[in-house]
Amino acid sequence: METSHQGAPQRLGDYEILQWLATGGMAEVYLARRRGARGFTKQVALKRILPKFASHREFVTMFINEAQLCSGLTHPNLVEVFDFGEEDGELFMAMELVDGTNCAKLVRAAAARGETVPIEDALFITLNVLRALEFAHDAENEKGEPLKLVHRDVSPGNVLISRTGAIKLADFGIARATPLEHCTENGQLKGKLGYMSPEQVMGQDLDRRSDLFTLGIILAELLSGRPLFAYGTETDILVRIRDADISTFLRYSKGIPTELREIVRKALARSPEARYQHAGSFAEAIESFVRQHRLALGPVRLAAYLEALGLVKPASRSGEFRFRGILDSTPRAKPMRCPEPPVMNESAPVTYRVRLDDGSLQGPFPLARILERLITGRIPPNAQVSRNDGPFLALCEHPELRRIASRSSSQWDFTVNAAEGQVIRFDERTLPYHLYEIALKAPTATLLAIHGLDRKKIHIKEGSVSLVSSTDPSELLGERLLRANRILPIELDMALALAPRHGGRVGDALVGLGILRPLELFQALYEQTFERTAALLSWTEGELWLLPPENYEEDGLPWGISLLEMITRGILQTYKETTLHRFLDGITTLPLHPGPRSAPCPTALRLPPGPTTALLAVDGVRSLTDLLRSPPSPKPTELEILQGIYIGLASGALRVEGC
C-alpha cells in the first residue's frame, strides 16, 4: 500500500484519501472519495486505526466492535457507517461525512465573543442527542434481545453539527453492549477527562444513565459558557466529577429560568437513581419547558448561528438569512440568554520541566510523573524544576515537591569510605550468605544494594526492616496496586496528585480519597516491602553498602518485619529447583551437620513445614543425596528438601563437614 510523504495512506481499499481531518485516541479520520460506475463519486469520512495500535489486540477489537455496532444503528441523529474493510492489515471504516463543526468548537466560539449559546440552540442540540441515545439505548440484536448499549463517550467533540443545523452523535469506539463486554476489561476506565459520570470515574458498572449525565454536562456548558468540571488539575477535575459538584453551573446560570436549571440539576445528580432514568424522560422535561416558554427550536436557527460565529460556510438555502439566523421576516421570540456572559476557562493541567547540571532539559511531565522520577532517583537532588514554564527553581522551592525531594528514602547519591561503613561485593551464590550475616548481627543501619543502575535501600533497626525504597518504578506502591487490580489508573492519578498534601505518601492519599481502607493500605505496604526485598535475591552480582542509619521513621511501617524472614521468603520465591541444584552441586554427598547454638532456628527463619522437616532431619551422618533418596517423614518434595538445606546452609543453621 502506498503512503504519502506525511505517512498517511494514499488509498485504503476502494477509497482515495483526499485530506486529513482529525486524530483521536485510537484512530484518525480522513476525507476520502469513492468512485463508481459512470462517473459516480461519493465523499466519506474514512476512519482507520492508528498504526501504533494496529497490532494492539484490545484496540483492534474495539475498532471492529465499533464498526459492527454502528452498522446496525441507523438513525437520523447517529453518524452512519457505510463500509468496513481491511487493506494490508489496516482496518478502516467509511462513515457519513458531516460537513460542519462540533459542540466543543461551538461553545469556545461563543465564549470568545463573550456570549453563551442561545437557550433555543442549546436545547435543540440536547434534544437531538437524546433522540440518538434513546434509539441506541433501546437497540436490539437480530434475535430481538436488548443490546443494553452504553455510548460511554458522550462529549462535545462527538456531537457533530452540520452546516444545515443537523445534529449527529459520533464515535461508538468505546461503547459497551452486553455481548461485547469482554472487549473492555472489568473496571477499565474509558472516556474523555471532564466528560465522565461519577460512576465512570470510580470504575463502577455503567448503564444508560451514565450517558445522560455526560449529556447533562454538555447542556450545562452550552448554557453557562463555562467548563463544568474540566479546569484546574486532573485531580480537581476527577474529584468534582466524583462529587457531582455543579457549583460552576449554578454560579454562572442565574439568568436562566429556574425550571431549566432544575432540569440540568436533575440530569447531573450524583446518584444514578436520582437522575432521569431514560433519554425519553429527559427529553420530555426539555420539551415541556420549550412549550411552556413558547420557544422556537430548529436547525435553521442553529445553522444561522454557526454562520454568525464563523464556524461554517453558508449553506445553500431558499431565501436569505438575517444575522441571527431567522429564515424570513416573521417576528420571532427573542433568544434567551444569560445576563452575564462569562469567558471559557481552559486551564491546562500543571506540567513540569527539569534542568540538569549539564543544562539539558527533561519534560514536560505531569505531576504524577515528576513524583515518580523523584522517588526513584531519576531526578537528582540538585536539579532545577520549572512549573508551567515558569522560572527554574530548586526542588525545595516547589511546595508540592519539597517533602519528597528532601526525605532520605528518595536520596540516591552516595559515597562511602572506611569511616562510614563497609562495601561487600556479591554474586548470586554469595548474596544470601551476606544478607543472613547482616541480619544475624542485628544492626541498626541503612543497607544500600547496587546492581548496575538499580538501587535498593533497606532501613534496618535491630534486625527488623520498616522501609525498603527502590529506584525501580515497577515496585512503586501504585504500580503494584494497579497490577493487582486493586485500584484503577484514574484513582492512582488522583492519589499521586494529592500526595504532596499527604507528605508525599501515595498510600495515605489513597486512604484519604476513600479508595483504600487503612488496613488495606498496611497490607499493601507490608507486601511491597517483602517483594522489594525478594527482588533483590534475583540479582546476579553487585555491591552491598552498610551505611549509618538514616531518619526514615516517618515513612516506614508502624512496626518492623524480621530481615531473616524477608530473606527466607525471597529465596523461596526466587530460587527454582534447577537453581538450587546448581548452588548445592559439589556438596551433595558430604555429611550435613546442625549449626552452632547461635544459629537461627527454623521458627526465626519462618520456614514452611516442608523445608523445616528437611532442615530438622539433618543428623551429621546423612547427606543431601541421602535425604533426596529417602525423604524424612512427613515426606517433603524434592524442591522443599533443596530449599530447607540451602536456607540452612546460607543462614548458618546447617554446616557441611569439611567446608
In-domain check, residue 205: yes
User: What span, in angstroms and rounded, lies between the C-alpha atoms of 82 and 231?
Assistant: 37
Q: Which residues pair with 551 in a beta bridge?
A: none
Whether 147 contacts 177, CB under 8 Å: yes
pLDDT reported for residue 497: 74
Beta-strand ranges (E) seen in 166-241 are 167-169
pLDDT reported for residue 506: 82
153 is catalytic: yes
Q: Is 301 exposed, middle or buried (0-12, 13-18, 19+ CB in 10 A)?
A: buried
Is residue 364 reached through a cis peptide bond, with omega within 30 degrees of 0 on the bond before it? Answer: yes
Chain position carrying cell 433501546: 138
In-domain check, residue 30: yes
SS3 content of the chain, % helix, strand, coil (to 5): 40, 20, 40
Q: Which residues pair with 74 in a beta bridge?
A: none
pLDDT reported for residue 557: 65
pLDDT reported for residue 168: 94
User: What span, in angstroms and rounded, lies between the C-alpha atoms of 29 and 560?
Assistant: 57
Of 434, 408, 442, give the one whose Cα is nearest residue 544.
Answer: 434
Name the residue type at position 64: I
pLDDT reported for residue 619: 79
User: What span, in angstroms and rounded, lies between the C-alpha atoms of 653 and 187?
Assistant: 48
- Catalytic residue selected from 121, 153, 211, 555: 153
Q: Are residues 74 and 134 in the same domain?
A: no
pLDDT reported for residue 77: 92
Output the CA–CA distances (angstroms, integers) from residue 26 to 58, 61, 248, 377, 592, in the order listed.
11, 11, 32, 33, 63
Name the residue range of residue 305's domain: 100-309
pLDDT reported for residue 460: 86
pTM: 0.55
In-domain check, residue 272: yes
In-domain check, residue 649: yes
Whether 618 contacts 648, CB under 8 Å: yes
Q: Are residues 84 and 125 in the same domain?
A: no
Of 373, 563, 361, give the one whose Cα is nearest residue 459.
Answer: 563
pLDDT reported for residue 224: 93
Q: Are residues 450 and 560 in the same domain?
A: yes
The alpha carbon of residue 315 and the mean position of all alpha carbons in its chain are separated, in whole angstroms, by 43
Cβ count within 10 A of residue 584: 15
pLDDT reported for residue 187: 34
pLDDT reported for residue 414: 57
- List CB contacts of 57: < 8 A, sequence separation 6 or more: none
- Side-chain-side CA neighbours of residue 423 (13 Å): 10
Q: Are residues 150 and 228 in the same domain?
A: yes
pLDDT reported for residue 189: 37
Of 250, 292, 282, 304, give the one whose Cα is nearest residue 117.
Answer: 304
Q: Which residues pair with 623 in a beta bridge?
A: 591
Q: Where is the domain boundary, 251, 275, 309?
A: 309
Is residue 314 reached through a cis peptide bond, with omega within 30 degrees of 0 on the bond before it? Answer: no
pLDDT reported for residue 233: 66
Q: Are residues 519 and 537 in the same domain?
A: yes
Q: Is 86 exposed, middle or buried (0-12, 13-18, 19+ CB in 10 A)?
A: exposed
User: What span, in angstroms and rounded, lies between the C-alpha atoms of 530 and 541?
Assistant: 20
Chain position carrying cell 441506541: 136
Q: Are residues 229 and 253 in the same domain?
A: yes
Give the domain CATH number at 264: 1.10.510.10
Cell numbers for 349, please give them.
493541567
User: What span, in angstroms and rounded, lies between the C-alpha atoms of 372 and 448?
Assistant: 20
Q: Consecutive 10-residue runs of the chain (659 residues): their mean pLDDT?
A: 51 86 76 84 85 71 74 84 81 87 91 90 97 91 84 90 93 51 36 80 84 97 91 74 91 92 96 95 96 93 92 61 38 45 48 87 83 83 87 86 74 57 85 90 84 88 84 87 82 77 77 73 81 88 85 60 87 91 90 82 83 86 88 89 92 81
Of 164, 166, 167, 146, give the one whose Cα is nearest residue 156.
Answer: 167
Instruction: Count structural domains, the chain.
Output: 5
In-domain check, residue 56: yes
Cell numbers for 51, please give them.
498504526
